Homo-oligomer: A and B are copies of this chain.
């Protein structure tokens, strides 16, 4: 029995710190396990009392003459430490430490936490907690409620992982009302040993879990998290993972030397992690529940095997007994990326057979306020059987003649005959309650408001698109990693940690970027010489450590066509730079052959502790600065990730032959993003960088780096 199995499905549980005093955690958890109908054996450990709630206690773990799979600790950190030693001797397989006072308070508590984890790892024991609410396994075969909460949820196919213990009690309360059943329910507290990823992997393998919901405050693993979760959300037996992430606004983007650094905050990192790993991020607790019941929605006709109902395409049919809510549903359907299906003529004819003359036979189908159950059933059958329909939403408003229950029965009947999702909005509370109950009992997602039903359908559709997406053939790229490493080390040895057009471009060249001939001139004459050698037109740019934004300082002059202009430009640039910053030390002026024109894009990277390099892409200039029209991805990025990043920004239109401009070389852009990701991974000394602009030329003609800045750091960020 593995550690996580021992935690969720133990044959026997020892509760260390079981107490006779109601209101104490050690008593309440004991009572909850006992009264929750746990199917294994429960051993209360308490050296002072003889029994608790009629059950004989044991002074210590060693007094139990039986195997113990799971030990639950509700004693002080010091006592937990000592008891863990005993537990190890007793050969327990899993542990849940409910008690607080560990890492979250620092000092000795933090030390004890480390010691316990070290001991447990050595002994092969897995730990949930400390500082958590406990775990619940409502499956009838186990029926274990090892938590604070007296409320045992009903069994179901949704698992819930929460970093907040307090949220758990609320979630159980909401779930009871919404008739949401759980497979596993776990409060992970300090995550000293088992974290979200361990649980996601365990639950993905768990036969009883079909949907995973999680409340996350922070993750402790970066790229490996993405790689592992990809296999969960998009592998052979995909499990949808719904996450609400809090703390979005608390840590804003920090001041940084690069555009990328300034735009990429922790929110962007998390968004990238979720997107790349196929996690469905939700905005509110409300939405978490709304989506969970839609994702738990299964095909009844599939002989016992779980088959999720997802729409293959985005064409939805709406059946409603009220015009207004039908329009509201249409609005939300379209604004969430779905479409209203156009029915076959045969469908319209079939609808005409069953509906009154005043009904609307087209989408949204209005069966009229006085609709009988038959009318709903016939209309729903007609539209769901239409090959142009991928799913349906049924809206009901309770009119005085509405037989809500019979309508629900008709919907369930049709739903059992189709693999297409049917989602309901029964608009009301008391008046619709019997119908809602019937739908819930039969696993049909039902919402109070049509807006929510439409959003849930849209989430299902996006998920269906994700799991059936085509694979992209990756690039086969070769780099000169050694030379790049030598350049970087060389700079660091010289104490240089800012690489501009000279060394920066050299590094990029090693990673297959096309860069412009660029040389530093320290006199007007030398500038003219360089220009004559490399060819016109040239652009000239100030080089000074004190001047980062060259244009702001009047330090850039474009389109110089002859030697005389080059000389003049040299003097002008130096003069401007001195005016801009009197104390600036001027290293010289770069003379760079001007690139053939192209769409100016910016590529950048900002390195995060734990998560590694976050790559940014956007269209240059005002696009980045005013609209923040950029996309992010966490390295390693493959071609598919790069494609998504490129397509995500609004400026993507510019690459597609916008207003007579040529179509851009998007393949080179994709390759550049992948190369930048590899560059960042191969050279951890780079802490931030911008390629700005990268000029993307016409399709087939590549791209050219016109400027870049690379910031090195010897310390990890």
Residues of B within 8 A of A450 (CB): 285
A166 within 8 Å of B (CB atoms): yes
Asked if A324 meets B162 with Cβ closer than 8 Å, knowing A148-B400, A428-B169, the reply is yes
Binary interface profile of A, 316-360, with partner B (CB < 8 Å = 1, else 0)? 000001111101101110110000000000000000000000100
Flag if A398 contacts B169 (CB, 8 Å): yes
Complexed CA–CA distance, A401 and B400 (Å): 44
Complexed CA–CA distance, A552 and B163 (Å): 56
Flag if B397 contacts A169 (CB, 8 Å): yes
A247 within 8 Å of B (CB atoms): yes
Flag if A250 contacts B327 (CB, 8 Å): yes
What is the minimal beta-carbon distance from A363 to any residue of chain B, in angstroms? 11
Asked if A330 meets B170 with Cβ closer than 8 Å, knowing A23-B401, A148-B399, A400-B148, the reply is no
Flag if B650 contacts A246 (CB, 8 Å): no
Binary interface profile of A, 283-295, with partner B (CB < 8 Å = 1, else 0)? 1111000000000
Complexed CA–CA distance, A167 and B452 (Å): 16
Other-chain contact of A429, B173, B215, B401, B430 (Cβ < 8 Å): B173
A629 within 8 Å of B (CB atoms): yes
Residues of B within 8 A of A651 (CB): 622, 626
Residues of B within 8 A of A324 (CB): 162-164, 166-167, 215, 217, 246
A690 within 8 Å of B (CB atoms): no
Other-chain contact of A335, B248, B623, B650 (Cβ < 8 Å): B248
Asked if A327 meets B217 with Cβ closer than 8 Å, knowing A399-B166, A399-B169, the reply is yes
What is the minimal beta-carbon distance from A349 to any residue of chain B, in angstroms? 22
Asked if A173 meets B430 with Cβ closer than 8 Å, knowing A167-B325, A250-B327, A626-B653, the reply is yes
Complexed CA–CA distance, A399 and B351 (Å): 52
Complexed CA–CA distance, A105 and B244 (Å): 48
Flag if B430 contacts A176 (CB, 8 Å): yes
Closest to A659 in B: B552
**From A150, A246, A249, residue with most partner B Cβ within 10 Å:** A246
Asked if A173 meets B398 with Cβ closer than 8 Å, knowing A250-B331, A325-B164, the reply is yes
Asked if A286 meets B451 with Cβ closer than 8 Å, knowing A23-B401, A176-B429, A330-B249, the reply is yes
Residues of B within 8 A of A328 (CB): 244, 246, 284-285
A28 within 8 Å of B (CB atoms): yes
Complexed CA–CA distance, A430 and B30 (Å): 23
Complexed CA–CA distance, A321 and B170 (Å): 12
Complexed CA–CA distance, A394 and B58 (Å): 43
Flag if B627 contacts A164 (CB, 8 Å): no
Asked if A170 meets B398 with Cβ closer than 8 Å, knowing A165-B369, A285-B328, A286-B449, the reply is yes
Flag if B164 contacts A323 (CB, 8 Å): yes
A625 within 8 Å of B (CB atoms): yes
Residues of B within 8 A of A176 (CB): 429-430
Residues of B within 8 A of A330 (CB): 247, 249-250
Give the copy number. 2
Flag if B369 contacts A625 (CB, 8 Å): no
Complexed CA–CA distance, A650 and B549 (Å): 22
A107 within 8 Å of B (CB atoms): no
Complexed CA–CA distance, A594 and B148 (Å): 76
Flag if B247 contacts A431 (CB, 8 Å): no
Complexed CA–CA distance, A258 and B149 (Å): 63
Complexed CA–CA distance, A658 and B623 (Å): 13
Flag if B327 contacts A428 (CB, 8 Å): no
Residues of B within 8 A of A614 (CB): none
Complexed CA–CA distance, A451 and B283 (Å): 9
Asked if A552 meets B431 with Cβ closer than 8 Å, knowing A330-B249, A448-B174, the reply is no
Kindly identify, within residues 657 to 701 of chain A, every residue whose CB is under 8 Å from any CB belonging to chain B. Answer: 658-660
Flag if A284 contacts B449 (CB, 8 Å): yes
A177 within 8 Å of B (CB atoms): yes
Closest to A432 in B: B173
Asked if A331 meets B626 with Cβ closer than 8 Å, knowing A163-B324, A324-B215, A448-B174, the reply is no
Flag if A105 contacts B358 (CB, 8 Å): yes
Complexed CA–CA distance, A449 and B449 (Å): 16
Complexed CA–CA distance, A658 and B321 (Å): 54
Complexed CA–CA distance, A398 and B169 (Å): 6
Residues of B within 8 A of A551 (CB): 659
Residues of B within 8 A of A28 (CB): 400
Closest to A170 in B: B427
What is the minimal beta-carbon distance from A693 to any residue of chain B, in angstroms? 15
Flag if B331 contacts A248 (CB, 8 Å): yes
Flag if A170 contacts B327 (CB, 8 Å): no
A654 within 8 Å of B (CB atoms): yes
What is the minimal beta-carbon distance from A326 to any residue of chain B, in angstroms? 9
Complexed CA–CA distance, A651 and B626 (Å): 7
Kindly identify, within residues 191 to 223 of chain A, every residue whose CB is under 8 Å from any CB belonging to chain B. Answer: 215, 217
**From A166, A284, A328, A623, residue with most partner B Cβ within 10 Å:** A166
A-B pairs with lowest CB-CB distance, top 5: A164-B324, A166-B322, A173-B428, A170-B427, A249-B334
With A173-B427, A174-B427, A284-B452 known, 20 other A-B pairs at CB within 8 A are A105-B358, A148-B400, A165-B322, A167-B325, A169-B398, A169-B399, A169-B428, A170-B325, A173-B428, A174-B448, A217-B327, A249-B334, A285-B427, A285-B449, A549-B659, A625-B653, A625-B659, A626-B653, A626-B658, A627-B627
Task: List 25 A-B residue pairs with CB atoms under 8 Å apart, sorted by A's residue number.
Answer: A23-B400, A105-B358, A151-B431, A164-B322, A165-B322, A166-B325, A169-B398, A169-B400, A169-B428, A170-B397, A173-B398, A173-B428, A173-B430, A174-B448, A246-B324, A246-B331, A247-B331, A249-B330, A250-B331, A284-B452, A285-B427, A286-B449, A286-B452, A625-B658, A626-B651
